[in-house]
């Protein structure tokens, strides 16, 4: 179950990075004014690393 | 529903909600939003006061910040345009500052539309006050029973002062005696300037000669515009800079403009010369007697000019003005000097800094030995007493002497004196015609006389700034 949550979190952070980056390209600062994209990036990386560790432990 | 789908539904719903909130905050479908900030905050929307050398470090305990020099600016970053702003500022005056004003940038030339926050001169007056429809009339002795009665039967101009209120400018000069000889000004003037002139017949003639200092890289075009007193342009002339030589620091002749006007209605006109600071007007010739420079003059450094265009090389300079306070500054160490204003001495002993002295005569005399000085004040300046005439009413300055003033008319609402106490004041700004650059509206906080680093403990302390913005709704944008 935890692995499913970690995997889905990774996917949603990936979607968030892509969508927010596209929004920023179209209208600069539409996201950055309220949410730091650096924070989303860190969360995406962290969720990815957690997922990798979980996958590794299963092997 | 499998667990995976439930988790996905929740997470992607949250993401969708965040996207919709971000879109709502950017588009603002109802056209309204409020931003609020304290000095402790790092707001994207209302940015910090600057420049840094005019503000103190933020006091983290009280979340306040002191402004010790003026003016200071802050930017309002918005993702769309708005029509109006109500700016509410909570501040405290240390007590030494007579005038505090806030404004929004009006154009690319960094002109600001100021509004009064506090005017201690008016607040401290024990005069009769009448307020009607946002206009206040203060009378030393009560003569008028209403603002309308005052406006319909104005007393002599010399007894009236205005503050953020425009009375109709004088149309004609009674018993005007024109000159037989043209007025020639040979004192070189640097950069832009404006002057009033008076025409009593249908014709008028002006001639301007220019030099280009070629200090800066930008092209040095000249635009000369004559306006009537309703601010309608009557004639426009231009010189386009095709001379080259930018940044060569070799002054060169930049030609001239000759205006021969034959269809003018009698009355006052305003001549505006717009140019960069590389342009020096080496000579002005006018058939009209009155040449009253408005608010500011930069007497150029004659030594920088080509020999034939030097114009008047000084053995001293004299200006005349009706301004209630005279400010001088210079960028040139060789121009540091003592300036005599009536019988008072203004010590211009530091470059890049303004020095001011009150001037309380109806006609003040300014005498100085060296040129390359910027002289300014809320009034007019001329090179002879005969050329000085102000069609406008006197404006109250920060050190205004009110001895000869019996009436003040203003849009400022006097408030009880409260030095050292926190005050909250709201000002309304029209943003439709405000200047917006890279999504920013630029605001200014002006406190005349507040100088950073002058070892005087005067300041304006800021607690918070709140701005309510109103613009067109999504509905109005789509369907109108």
Burial of B230: CB neighbours in 10 Å, binned 0-12, 13-18, 19+ = exposed
Report how far residue A15's alpha carbon sits from residue A23's, in angstroms, rounded to the nearest whole number: 12
The helix/strand/coil state of B89 is strand
Whether B310 shows a pLDDT value over 80: the answer reads: no
Check B44 against A23: CB less than 8 A apart.
no
Terminal Cα-to-Cα distance of chain A (whole angstroms): 17
Within 10 angstroms of residue B119's Cβ, the number of other Cβ atoms is 24
Instruction: Assess A22–B contact: CB distance below 8 Å, yes or no.
Output: no
Q: How far apart are CA A1 and CA B314, in angstroms?
A: 90
Give the closest of A8, A30, A34 to B11, CB-based: A8
- pLDDT score of B360: 78
**Residue B205 pLDDT more than 80?**
yes
ipTM above 0.85, yes or no: yes
B141-159 pLDDT, tens digit per residue, is 999 999 999 999 999 888 9
pLDDT given for residue B478 in this prediction: 82
- Summarize the confidence of residues B200-209 as an average pLDDT: 89
Chain B residue with Cα closest to A31:
B22
| Confidence bin at B307 (pLDDT 50/70/90) | low
Contact B410, B135 (CB under 8 A): yes
B155: nearest Cα among B409, B412, B411: B409
| A46 touching B (Cβ < 8 Å) | no
Contact between chains at B77 and A33 (C-beta distance less than 8 A):
yes
Minimal CA–CA distance to B72: which of B459, B468, B467? B459
* pLDDT value for B1: 66
Q: Which residues of chain A are within 8 Å of residue B46 when distances are taken between CB atoms?
A: none
Please check the confidence at residue B311 and state whether its pLDDT lies above 60.
no
Residue with the larger pLDDT of the pair B227 and A58: B227
Chain A CB contacts of B77 below 8 Å: 29, 33
DSSP 3-state of B478? helix
For the beta carbon of residue B433, count every other beta carbon within 10 angstroms. Answer: 10
- B395 pLDDT band, cuts 50/70/90, is confident
User: What pLDDT score does B415 carry?
Assistant: 86
Does B314 have pLDDT greater than 80?
A: no
Is residue B374 within 8 Å of residue B296, measured between CB atoms? yes
Residue B181 pLDDT more than 90? no
Q: What would the mean pLDDT of B55-67 be, rounded to a whole number?
A: 94
Are B402 and B121 in contact by the 8 Å Cβ rule? The answer is: yes
B104-125: average pLDDT: 92
Neighbours of B202 (CB within 10 A): 11
Asked if the C-beta of B19 comes within 8 angstroms of chain A's C-beta atoms, the answer is yes
DSSP string, A1-59: -HHHHHHHHHHHHHHHHHHHHHHHHHSTTTTTTTS-HHHHHHHHHHHHHHHHHHHHHH-
Write out B256-303 in H/E/C secondary structure: EEEEEECCCCCEEEEEEEEECCCEEEEEEEECCCCCEEEEEEEECCHH
For B14, nearest residue in chain A (alpha carbons): A12
Q: Three-class SS string for B20-76?
A: HHHHHHHHCCCCEEEEEECCCCCCCCECCCECHHHECCCECCCCEEEECCCCEEEEE
With contact defined as beta carbons under 8 Å apart, do B283 and B186 qualify?
A: yes
Q: Residue B104's CB: how many other CB atoms inside 10 A?
A: 23
B415-464 pLDDT, tens digit each: 887 778 899 999 999 999 999 999 999 999 999 888 887 778 889 999 99
Q: Report the SS3 class of residue B123.
A: helix
Tell me the pLDDT tens digit for each residue of B13-58.
999 999 999 999 998 989 999 999 999 999 999 999 999 999 999 9
Looking at residue B292, its pLDDT comes to 96
Residue B111 in 3-state DSSP?
Answer: coil
* Neighboring chain A residues of B19 at a CB cutoff of 8 Å: 19, 23
Task: Supply the mean pLDDT for chain B.
Answer: 90
CA B291/CA B381 separation, integer angstroms: 8
Structure confidence at residue B302 as a pLDDT band (50, 70, 90): confident
Count of domains observed in chain A = 1
SS3 state at B183: strand
Domain that holds residue A14: 2-58
Mean pLDDT, residues B306-318: 63
For residue B479, the model assigns a pLDDT of: 79
What are residue B390's phi and psi, to 5 degrees?
A: -105, 115
Tens-place pLDDT, residues A28-40:
889 999 999 999 9
Q: Quote the pLDDT of residue B202.
A: 77
How many residues comprise chain A? 59
Lowest mean per-residue pLDDT among A53-57, B77-81, B194-198, B289-293: A53-57
The separation between the first and the last C-alpha atoms of chain B, rounded to the nearest angstrom, is 47
Residue partners of B17: CB distance under 8 A and separation at least 6: none
Cβ(B404)–Cβ(B158) under 8 Å?
A: yes
Write out chain B residues lying below 8 Å of A30, CB-based: 22-23, 26, 79
CB A23 within 8 A of CB A29: no
Contact B413, B316 (CB under 8 A): no
Residues facing B365 on adjacent strands? B320
> Comparing C-alpha atoms, which of B181, B200, B168 is closest to residue B269?
B200
Residue B60 has pLDDT above 60, yes or no: yes
- The helix-helix angle for A37-58 and A2-26 (nearest 10°) equals 150
Residues on chain A touching B28 (C-beta within 8 angstroms) = none
Question: What's the pLDDT at A15?
Answer: 95
Q: Is B304 helix (H, G, I), strand (E, B) or coil?
A: helix
The residue whose two tokens read 């918005």 is B78
């Amino acid at each position: 179950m935890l692995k499913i949550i970690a995997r889905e979190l990774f996917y949603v952070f990936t979607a968030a990075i892509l969508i927010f980056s596209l929004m920023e390209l179209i209208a600069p600062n539409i996201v950055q004014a309220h949410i730091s994209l650096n924070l989303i990036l860190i969360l995406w990386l962290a969720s990815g690393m957690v997922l990798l560790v979980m996958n590794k432990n299963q092997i | 529903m499998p667990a995976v789908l439930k988790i996905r539904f929740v997470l992607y719903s949250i993401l969708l909600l965040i996207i919709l909130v971000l879109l709502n905050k950017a588009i603002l479908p109802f056209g309204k939003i409020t931003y609020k900030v304290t000095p402790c905050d790092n707001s994207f929307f209302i940015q910090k006061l600057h420049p840094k050398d005019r503000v103190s470090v933020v006091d983290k305990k009280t979340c306040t910040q002191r402004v010790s020099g003026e003016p200071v600016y802050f930017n309002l970053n918005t993702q769309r345009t708005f029509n109006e702003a109500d700016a509410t500022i909570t501040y405290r005056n240390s007590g030494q500052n007579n005038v505090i004003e806030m404004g929004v940038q009006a154009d690319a030339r960094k002109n600001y539309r100021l509004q009064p926050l506090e005017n201690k001169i008016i607040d401290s007056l024990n005069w009769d006050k009448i307020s009607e429809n946002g206009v206040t009339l203060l009378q030393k002795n009560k003569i008028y029973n209403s603002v309308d009665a005052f406006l319909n039967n104005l007393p002599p101009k010399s007894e009236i002062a205005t503050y953020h209120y425009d009375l109709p400018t004088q149309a004609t000069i009674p018993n005007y005696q024109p000159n037989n000889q043209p007025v020639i000004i040979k004192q070189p003037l640097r950069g832009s300037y404006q002057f009033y002139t008076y025409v009593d017949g249908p014709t008028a003639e002006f001639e301007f000669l220019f030099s280009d200092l070629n200090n800066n890289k930008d092209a040095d075009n000249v635009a000369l515009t004559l306006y009537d007193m309703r601010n309608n342009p009557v004639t426009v002339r231009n010189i386009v800079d095709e001379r080259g030589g930018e940044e060569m620091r070799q002054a060169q002749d930049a030609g001239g403009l000759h205006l021969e006007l034959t269809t003018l209605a009698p009355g006052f006109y305003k001549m505006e010369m717009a140019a960069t600071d590389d342009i020096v007007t080496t000579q002005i010739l006018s058939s009209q007697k009155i040449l009253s420079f408005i608010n500011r003059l930069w007497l150029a450094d004659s030594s920088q000019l080509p020999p034939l265009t030097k114009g008047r090389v000084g053995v001293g300079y004299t200006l005349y003005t009706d301004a209630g306070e005279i400010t001088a500054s210079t960028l040139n160490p060789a121009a540091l000097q003592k300036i005599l204003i009536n019988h008072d001495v203004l010590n211009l002993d530091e470059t890049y800094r303004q020095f001011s002295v009150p001037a309380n005569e109806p006609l003040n005399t300014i005498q100085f030995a060296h040129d390359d000085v910027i002289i300014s004040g809320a009034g007019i300046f001329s090179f002879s007493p005969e050329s000085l005439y102000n069609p406008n009413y006197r404006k109250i300055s920060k050190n205004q002497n009110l001895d000869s003033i019996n009436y003040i008319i203003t849009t400022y609402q006097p408030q009880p004196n409260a030095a050292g106490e926190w005050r909250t004041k709201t000002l309304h700004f029209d943003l439709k015609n405000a200047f917006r650059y890279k999504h920013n509206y630029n605001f200014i906080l002006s406190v005349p006389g507040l100088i950073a680093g002058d070892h005087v403990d005067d300041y304006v302390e800021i607690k918070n700034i709140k701005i309510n913005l109103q613009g067109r709704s999504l509905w109005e944008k789509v369907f109108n």
